[in-house]
Amino acid sequence: MMSGQSAKRDVAFPRAPLPPRFCNMERLLAAMEARGLDGIVATMPLNVFYLSGFNGIGHKSDEPRPYAVILSRHAPDHPIFVIADYYVSTFLAQPTWIEDIRPFRAVMMGLDIPPKPEDIDRFLPAGAAGPDWLVQARDRYSFDMISNVQAALKELQLTKGKVAFDDMAYGFRLGLDGLEVLDGYDTLMSARAVKTEGELALIERATALNEQAIKRTVSSWSKGASWRDINQAYHQAACDLGGFVHDPGAMVWGHPRGADPMVTLQTGLEDFEVEAGTHVLFDCHGTIDLYCWDGGKTWVVDDEPDRRSKTNAVAVGEVAQTLIGAMRPGVRVSELQALGREVYRKCGVSDPDGALIFFHGLGLSHMDLEMITADGKPNGDWALEENMVVPLHLLYPGGETERIWLEDVIAVTASGGRPLFSWGLDPFITV
């Protein structure tokens, strides 16, 4: 069974207000210009957060979003934020760089009550007038979202332009005949791919939380623990530290029993006793301040690696060290994969072609990469850029006492990759 945890919750990563602006605005404007866009409208939660710092408590991904950030390339210092009235007070706790906030009468106000300008007062602090943006927000209160967004587009001279939406369906629903609705996914991902200094700090914080949660999980193991016990211990540790995990679970890899080398993800339905000698592959996902953590490495449970798995572990470490040094701006994913496979061959592993070597972006999602570049080309074999955050994944498959996994989170710099985990490249060994 897993050993007991302290009843006192030690929040090692407490929440605090974020900077008013942490998005890569220069990169976004360049991406818009490269695509000939006049404006962009974000209504998807992560993009709204990226542009404004707003993280709404009440809405899930497939619900109609009661907010929109509208940005003109020709007036980048005057974005407009249209938002439900009950969310306006959020900005008193989490500031935003957007000063033009325009609330509208939303679902909390009953349809049986005639709308009136004073309805907004239910959602504002009583008494003092408040900061300038709040006074202006009260004066700009409207009774529905669509007319509010249409008015903002008109004011920014975007009703006749090329405007990208991260949800194209929303753009069409606006019903503006002169508006050319385009797909904004890749424009926003182009900006999100390269991190600002503030974003790098948020991702480093998330990675440090994950590292501590994994260490707590390893130290809590005792004989007889089941796979679900270990999952629960990790979830508890991540939440106790101040983070969030997602259904059906935070630990990604499945763990076939015996000699089966199958590569599989867990479903949340598995359960078995985790016996001494098992190689547990920590690949853990979660968020804090909406920025993702990822990664982990191999834990050899209550045992030493045998001769064969030790060879595999040394090879994985050599590949990782080589690739981290090579993760510079301009290098492509296929080049890194070929380099890593060559190192496996030099290390003398039995099946270098069977090893998995892969990469993706990391930030507000486990992608943060364009699918299609501004020149219309697929971005499958993408090139690294400075200040990207790129997890390095190395899996040498094998049975439950042979498989070796390492995923480090790497910040790309001009001199090579900078690992964000502090614990090195060797497996955990607990004896």
In the prediction, which pLDDT does 8 show?
55
Based on the fold, state whether residues 319 and 280 are members of the same structural domain. yes
In a domain, 4, yes or no: no
* Alpha carbons 145 and 66: distance in angstroms, whole number: 7
Asked which of 163, 192, 221 is the last residue of a domain, the reply is 192
In the prediction, which pLDDT does 430 show?
79
What residue numbers bound the domain in which 128 lies? 25-192
Based on the fold, state whether residues 248 and 360 are members of the same structural domain. yes
In a domain, 214, yes or no: yes
pLDDT digits (tens, 9 = 90+) for 156-199: 999 999 999 999 999 999 999 999 999 999 999 999 999 999 99
In the prediction, which pLDDT does 275 show?
93
Based on the fold, state whether residues 239 and 304 are members of the same structural domain. yes
**What 3-state DSSP class applies to 154?**
helix
Based on the fold, state whether residues 211 and 177 are members of the same structural domain. no
Based on the fold, state whether residues 144 and 128 are members of the same structural domain. yes
- 324, 416 contact by CB (below 8 A): yes
Based on the fold, state whether residues 271 and 307 are members of the same structural domain. yes
Rounded to two decimals, the pTM is 0.95
In the prediction, which pLDDT does 395 show?
98
In a domain, 326, yes or no: yes
Based on the fold, state whether residues 184 and 204 are members of the same structural domain. no
In a domain, 123, yes or no: yes
Based on the fold, state whether residues 165 and 226 are members of the same structural domain. no
> Cα dist. 41→16, 422, 431 in Å?
27, 39, 55
DSSP 19: P
- 362, 292 contact by CB (below 8 A): yes
Based on the fold, state whether residues 64 and 139 are members of the same structural domain. yes
Based on the fold, state whether residues 216 and 184 are members of the same structural domain. no
Looking up residue 53, the CATH number of its domain turns out to be: 3.40.350.10
Split into its structural domains, the chain has a count of 2
In the prediction, which pLDDT does 1 show?
44
Q: Which of 283, 279, 281 is nearest to 304 (CA)?
A: 279
In the prediction, which pLDDT does 10 show?
59
In a domain, 9, yes or no: no
Those residues with Cβ within 8 angstroms of residue 310's Cβ, 6 or more apart along the chain or in another chain: none
Based on the fold, state whether residues 300 and 221 are members of the same structural domain. yes
* Alpha carbons 171 and 56: distance in angstroms, whole number: 21
Spans of the chain, pLDDT less than 70 = 1-10, 128, 431
In a domain, 298, yes or no: yes
Based on the fold, state whether residues 283 and 312 are members of the same structural domain. yes
Looking up residue 239, the CATH number of its domain turns out to be: 3.90.230.10
Quote the tokens at residue 326: 């090579």
286-288 vs 80-84, strand pairing mode: unpaired
In the prediction, which pLDDT does 2 show?
52
